[in-house]
Structure 1
Amino acid sequence: MVQLVEVEDEHFQSAQPGPEEDDADFTDTDSEISEDSDYDPSQETLAERLYALKDIIPPTTRGWIGARFDTGARAVQNTWFYGSRTVWVVCTAALMIGVPLATCWAEDQQIEGMEREYRMREMGSELLTAGEDQKEGNTADMLNQAIGGKTEARPSL
């Protein structure tokens, strides 16, 4: 019959190097809380403090916030891109259509003013010679008839 015997390895029988059996005095020297650290919180910037807070927010929430931020950034970017092109098209069209139109309108106004001045000069010469052609009549009445009878003569102030 076969008999099983447990054989222990020498490696497990010897004590391991490391802290003593009394773990109460054990301190972690790599900890940021240790008193011999040269960390000065007054030298820390706001950006560094906010970056350190990222571990408080779970990764799924950070991913959700990042996705929303990227979506908003893309929306602003597209709005800026298409908005600037729209403004360019509108301004160019206004310059190409509006400037010649304004020039033509100004020329028409100038021509109408010249025609009005010419008619006034003709009426003035008719008024000066009105006494020779008609026997009776007032100069103001003749002026009123020449204009069309719609206005009344008013004294100037």
Structure 2
Amino acid sequence: MLLEEVTDAQLSEDVSETSTDLSDFCSEDESILDESFLERVQALKDIIPGVFRAKIYQKVTSFVSAIRSILRFGGKTLWVLATSVLLLGTPLVLAIEEEEKMIAYDKEFKMQQKAHEVLAPGTSSAAFSPPVPQRSGSLI
């Protein structure tokens, strides 16, 4: 076995060569990492034939167009349904509410008549009858 003496100068040269090799390797990695997704897709142009790219483009375009049409139709349908419910539902709710008030008023009137008959049997109930409520015109 032969031993050689290594000087500090030779050792520093070896270390500097190794560090430059590593920096070259790191700079290549950094350039790959700095590459954007769009640049990578553009690099695929050379790999994928033009005819196949045209077919892919056509299918993607038709898919996007179909989605747009569906969303546009869905939005218009939702608008029609919402406005119809508001225009038809609001008067209906008001009419139902008015009808419930009238039913409650009739119940109260009948209860008052029964209470009057129990307290004063044989008297005419015309004197104690409440005024007839005036019904406004129907909203529907």
Could you say which TM-score interval applies, normalised by the shorter chain? 0.5 to 0.7
- Higher radius of gyration, 1 or 2: 1
Q: Distance in 2 between matches of 1:42 and 1:84?
A: 42
- Aligned twin of 1:93: 84
- Percent of aligned pairs sharing the same letter: 28
Aligned to 2:132: none
Matched, 1:106 2:100: no
Matches within 5 A, 1:127-138: 127-129=118-120
Write the letter of the residue equivalent to 1:110: K
Write the deviation string for residues 101-142 of structure 1: whole angstroms up to 9, x where unpaired: 111111111111111111112112223345x89xxxxxxxxx
Q: Which runs of 5+ in 1 are unaligned?
A: 1-34, 134-157
Q: Does 1:70 align with 2:61?
A: yes
> Residue 78 of structure 1: CA displacement?
0.9
Query: Residue by residue, what CA displacement relative to the aligned partner does 1:28-77 show, whole Å, maximum 9, x if unpaired?
Result: xxxxxxx9xx8722211122212212322221211111111111111111
Counterpart Cα distance in 2 of 1:120 and 1:55? 91
Greater relative contact order (CA < 8 Å, ≥ 6 in sequence): 2
Q: Secondary structure at the match of 1:114?
A: helix
* Match of residue 57 from structure 1: 48
Which of 83, 107, 115 aligns to 1:116? It is 107
Q: Which residue of 2 aligns with 1:80?
A: 71
Output the TM-score relative to the length of structure 1: 0.54
TM-score, length-normalised on structure 2? 0.60
Say which SS state the counterpart of residue 110 (structure 1) adopts. Answer: helix
* Letter aligned with residue 53 of structure 2: R
Give 3-state SS (helix, strand or coil) of 2:48's partner.
coil
Question: Aligned equivalents of 1:54 and 1:61: distance in 2?
Answer: 10
